[in-house]
A = this chain, B = another copy of it.
């Protein structure tokens, strides 16, 4: 390979001296490289190479590798929020059905966008030092929390568990399944059923335990 821009890059403009959209290309490079070797398995120079650009070019767009990764995580959270709220649809028309869609959307995201998911939850980008990232992750969790609130609102007031707790339970369960079994390519363990069904069953049992007659 002598005159390609990395490998796999989408075929945008034929590109002369200026790349045109290097920032986007770097994000895509990071995603591809994460998919290939994990969030810790690539360097800033790798990303430049993948985008078909000199090693100095990325500095025009990101301070360093961590800034690139943080941007990937940020975009990931935005897509994630979209996916979740699109599935939840404010609980319409049926809260229980919508809740089921929500969990599936979570797993689907983890499976379809494992690189984003990695950058968001496993790359160790500290959300503490990054307000934008923290807000984005908060918004994603907000969807789950709103759903939990509608869910507990279905129960008689005296039996209602704290919505926040319910949200955390569902999130933990879903994240646990996603991170243990959710990855399409190299599933870490053989499962007797697909992760989606594993989650659905777990949520059904859990909701029954809460006193919600989902099934």
Contact = CB atoms under 8 A, between A and B. Distances in A.
Interface of A: 38, 40, 121-122, 124, 126-128, 141, 161-162, 164-165, 168-169, 171-177, 179-181, 186, 188-189, 191-193, 198, 201-202, 204-210
Contact of A176 (B174, B207, B209): B174
B198 A209 contact: no
A193 B173 contact: no
A175 B182 CA distance: 13
Nearest to A127: B188
A173 B162 CA distance: 18
Nearest to A197: B165
A174 B206 CA distance: 14
Q: Report, nearest first, the 5 A-B pairs whose CB atoms are least far apart.
A: A176-B176, A209-B209, A40-B40, A172-B176, A205-B209
